[in-house]
Structure 1
Amino acid sequence: MGIMRRVVRSARELGGPAAAAAGREVDMGAEQQPRRTRGRLHVGLVYNADRDCGPDRPEDRGSTADLRQMIRRMARALRSVGYKVTVLPLARDLSAFQRRLRRVRPDVVFNQYDDVVHGALYEMRVPALIRMMGFRVTGSPPLALGLTRYKHMAASLLQGAGVRIPPCTQLLERVSDVDLHKWEFPLFAQPAREHASIGVDRNSVVHSKKALRAKVRELLQTYHQPVLVQAFLPGREFNVGMVGGRRPRVMPLAEVDYSKLPAGIPPVMSYAAKWIETAEEYDKTSVVCPAVVEPQLSREIISTALRAFRAVGAWGYGRVDIRLDAEGRPCVLEVNCNACLEEGHSLPRQAERAGISYPRLLQMVVRASFEASSQELDIPMV
Structure 2
Amino acid sequence: MHIAILYNRDHEQLEDDPGREARADVMRVASALSEALTQDGTQVDLIPVTDSRLEFVDVLARMQPDLVINLCESVAADSRAETIIPCLLDMLGLPYTGASALSLTLALHKDKAKELLKARGVSTPGFARVDRLEDLDAVDLPFPLIVKPAREDASVGITSDSVVHDREGLRRAVDTVLRTFHQPALVEQFIAGREIYVPLLGNSPRRALPLSEIRFGQFFADRPNIVTYAGKWEAGSPEYVNTPSGPCLLTDSALEARLVQTAMDAFAALEGRDYGRVDLRVTPEGVPYVIDINPNCDLHPEAGFAKAARSAGIDYRTLARQLVAIALERHHGHPTARRKGPGAPRLPDSSNRNLLPGRAGVRHRARRSRASAE
Q: TM-score range by the shorter chain?
A: 0.7 to 0.9
Are residue 101 (structure 1) and residue 60 (structure 2) matched? yes
Are residue 50 (structure 1) and residue 10 (structure 2) matched? yes
- Report what 1:242 is aligned to: 200
Distance verdict in 2 for CA 1:45–1:90, change over 3 Å: same
Look up the equivalent residue of 2:355 and give its one-letter code: L
CA contact (8 A) 2:8 2:49 kept: yes
- Report what 1:190 is aligned to: 148
Cα offset for 1:356? 0.3
Partners of 2:309 and 2:273 in 1: CA distance = 17
- Report what 1:324 is aligned to: 282
Are residue 279 (structure 1) and residue 257 (structure 2) matched? no
Partners of 1:290 and 1:45 in 2: CA distance = 32
Using the size of structure 2 for normalisation, the TM-score is 0.85
Distance verdict in 2 for CA 1:175–1:358, change over 3 Å: same
- Report what 1:270 is aligned to: 228
Q: How does 1:1-382 map to 2 (within 5 A)?
A: 41-50=1-10, 52-54=12-14, 56-57=16-17, 60-62=19-21, 67-80=26-39, 82-92=41-51, 94=53, 96-115=55-74, 118-167=77-126, 169-325=127-283, 327-370=285-328, 371-372=330-331, 374=352, 376-377=354-355, 379-380=357-358, 382=362
Partners of 1:258 and 1:334 in 2: CA distance = 18
Partners of 1:298 and 1:116 in 2: CA distance = 38
Partners of 2:11 and 2:220 in 1: CA distance = 37
User: Higher relative CO (CA 8 A, sep ≥ 6), structure 1 or 2?
Assistant: 1
Distance verdict in 2 for CA 1:89–1:194, change over 3 Å: same
Partners of 2:103 and 2:246 in 1: CA distance = 28
Partners of 1:54 and 1:347 in 2: CA distance = 29
Structure 2 gap ranges (5+): 332-350, 363-374
Look up the equivalent residue of 2:354 and give its one-letter code: E
Partners of 2:250 and 2:13 in 1: CA distance = 39
Distance verdict in 2 for CA 1:65–1:156, change over 3 Å: closer
Identity among equivalent pairs (%):
33
CA contact (8 A) 2:125 2:290 kept: yes
Partners of 2:15 and 2:192 in 1: CA distance = 31
CA contact (8 A) 1:148 1:336 kept: yes
Number of residues of Structure 1 aligned to a counterpart in Structure 2: 340
Distance verdict in 2 for CA 1:121–1:84, change over 3 Å: same
Cα offset for 1:99? 2.3
CA contact (8 A) 1:55 1:61 kept: no
- The CA RMSD over aligned residues, in Å, is 2.2
Partners of 2:123 and 2:306 in 1: CA distance = 27
CA contact (8 A) 1:256 1:286 kept: yes
Using the size of structure 1 for normalisation, the TM-score is 0.83
Cα offset for 1:367? 1.6
Distance verdict in 2 for CA 1:332–1:93, change over 3 Å: closer
